[in-house]
Amino acid sequence: MSAPTGLDKPPADTAPAKRPAGGVLSYLTGQLSQIGLFIALIVIVVFFQITTDGITLKPINISNLIIQNSYILILAVGMVMVIIAGHIDLSVGSVVAFIGALAGVMITKWDLPWPVAVVLCLVAGALVGAWQGYWIAYFGIPAFIVTLGGMLAFRGAAQIVLDNKQIAPFPQGFRDLGSGFLPTFGSSGYEPLTMILGVLAALALVGSAFRQRRERRKYDLEDEPIWWFVAKQAFAVALILLVTVQLASYDGTPIVLVILGVLVVGYTAVMSRAVFGRHVYAIGGNLSAAQLSGVKAKSVTFWLFVNMGVISALAGLVYTAGLNLANPSAGNGFELDAISAVFIGGAAVTGGIGTIPGAIIGGLIIGILNNGMSILGVGTEWQQLIKGLVLLAAVAFDFYNKRRRASV
């Protein structure tokens, strides 16, 4: 990747360089990664909707799908930032278990109010991230090695804290973090609060997209045809409204969906508009050039892992609350699902490319695969095989796109 210049402008992933006019086909060919992601999501949903006799898009299943995959989607938000910077974090599953263990002890053994325990657990997650980030950023030890050590160390720490036993139950307020719903209004029809939140989310998405398009045009970086821009927004709005109507006809809005929505909106803004996010893209694209441009790579890397620690702690709290159980074996394989979500969502293995929404879509693809195959009674061995092939196909597609662009 060429040396980043003009770090005050939007990152390359969210604002592609202007291409010479080559017609509609030329533009769409250049957007194969994004187009393929949306097509894959649609095909998977339609396939399981047909093969499960309509169960996939039933309100109760959509609600369960969101709740059951929320912790993976939360982890994907932090993981995509780490991978964009050219690093990886293998410890997140163990950190989920460790934080869940701490929450269990604080709430059930020490009798701390659950809101206080939540804050302390998030602080503990930040300390975990700071510990790993220090070795990676300032000692120069590869993130793979440091977080591999963290994966083993924090798994052991979770077992020590719980004395290899499970702890349950938790107060209802804490459990609502993982499995509760916002208050409902009305006794029949569609729940109004959910409908209002869905419409507001759709309007906010469209408004943000138009602002970003105007910003790209301001820097003469916009080459997206207006018809394609409108088609993308129409698809996104239709998807949001579909989910909204289904949730409103069931129990309303899951609390964890609100948490996830805040994370996605906040971190998307950070990565696309804040200096920190632009520096993350610069480091992943070309570390040497970024340093020569004045980017404090060590500081950015350190805070990236602090952030990853906090997000892992949040995922641990949500998972423990939803399960109503602190378990020393919790979080097994979560790091693999989070990493898979990021790569399926279009992030580059070499860093410098990726988006928060892309990681969320990647996580949804994994979640829908898990959900659909479980409904169809597919064995876990076949589920693992299929998910592995999907991940390989996503990475192979990324490499194909790079080679194609290089040959143009």
b/e per residue 94-127 (b: at least 16 CB within 10 A):
bbbbbbbbbbbbbbbeeebebeebbebbbebbbe
Most confident of 17-26, 106-115, 387-396: 106-115
State the DSSP string of 286-301: -HHHHHHTT--HHHHH
Give the model's pLDDT for residue 31.
Answer: 66
Q: Please say if the pLDDT value at position 20 is more than 80.
A: no
Split at pLDDT 50, 70, 90, the class of 18 is very low
The dihedrals phi and psi of 326, each to the nearest 5 degrees, come to -95, 120
Most confident of 88-97, 188-197, 203-212, 266-275: 88-97
Q: Please say if the pLDDT value at position 2 is more than 60.
A: no
Split at pLDDT 50, 70, 90, the class of 76 is very high
**DSSP strands (E only) in 71-111:** none
For tokens 């018809």, the residue is 227
Give the model's pLDDT for residue 341.
Answer: 92
348: helix, strand or coil: coil
Give the model's pLDDT for residue 6.
Answer: 45
Q: Which of 161, 153, 122, 157 is nearest to 135 (CA)?
A: 153
Instruction: Show Cβ contacts of residue 49 under 8 Å, excluding neighbours closer than 6 positions.
Output: 56, 57
Q: Please say if the pLDDT value at position 97 is more than 80.
A: yes
Distance of CA 229 to the CA centre of its chain: 23
Q: Please say if the pLDDT value at position 157 is more than 50.
A: yes
What is the average pLDDT across 10-33?
A: 53
Cα–Cα distance list, 211 to 44, 265, 293, 361 (Å): 31, 14, 27, 22
Element housing 282 (H / E): helix 275-285
pTM (2 decimals)?
0.88
Give the model's pLDDT for residue 278.
Answer: 93
60-74, 148-162, 386-400: range with lowest mean pLDDT = 386-400
Token pair recorded at residue 231? 């088609």
Split at pLDDT 50, 70, 90, the class of 231 is confident
Q: Which of 3, 74, 108, 46 is nearest to 264 (CA)?
A: 74
Q: Please say if the pLDDT value at position 308 is more than 50.
A: yes
Measured between alpha carbons, how far is 126 from 15 in angstroms, rounded to an integer?
31
Measured between alpha carbons, how far is 321 from 96 in angstroms, rounded to an integer?
12
Q: Please say if the pLDDT value at position 315 is more than 50.
A: yes
Per residue in 340-374, pLDDT (tens digit) is 999 988 888 888 888 998 899 999 999 999 999 99
Most confident of 99-103, 366-370, 381-385: 99-103
- Please give the residue that has the higher pLDDT: either 188 or 181: 181
The type of residue at 193 is L
What is the average pLDDT across 326-338?
A: 91
106-115, 170-179, 186-195, 303-312: range with lowest mean pLDDT = 186-195
Give the model's pLDDT for residue 223.
Answer: 67
Average per-residue pLDDT in the chain?
Answer: 87
Instruction: Show Cβ contacts of residue 144 under 8 Å, excluding neighbours closer than 6 positions.
Output: 88, 90
Give the model's pLDDT for residue 134.
Answer: 96
b/e per residue 333-362 (b: at least 16 CB within 10 A):
ebbbbbbbbbbbbbbbeebbbbbbbbbbbb
What is the average pLDDT across 221-249?
A: 85
**Cβ neighbours, 10 Å, residue 379:** 9
For tokens 């510990």, the residue is 131
Split at pLDDT 50, 70, 90, the class of 33 is low
Q: Please say if the pLDDT value at position 173 is more than 60.
A: yes
Token pair recorded at residue 88? 């990886």
Q: Which of 404, 223, 277 is nearest to 11 (CA)?
A: 277
Give the model's pLDDT for residue 29.
Answer: 64
Domain residue ranges of the chain, discontinuous segments joined by +: 53-180+254-398, 186-253
- Which alpha helices (DSSP H) does 52-169 contain, by range? 59-84, 92-104, 114-137, 143-162
**Cβ neighbours, 10 Å, residue 377:** 6
What is the average pLDDT across 271-275?
A: 89
- The residues facing 192 across adjacent strands are none
Give the model's pLDDT for residue 230.
Answer: 87
Q: With 0-12 CB in 10 A as exposed, 13-18 as middle and 19+ as buried, what is 214?
A: exposed
Measured between alpha carbons, how far is 265 from 274 in angstroms, rounded to an integer?
13
Percent with pLDDT over 90 in the chain: 56
**Cβ neighbours, 10 Å, residue 177:** 22
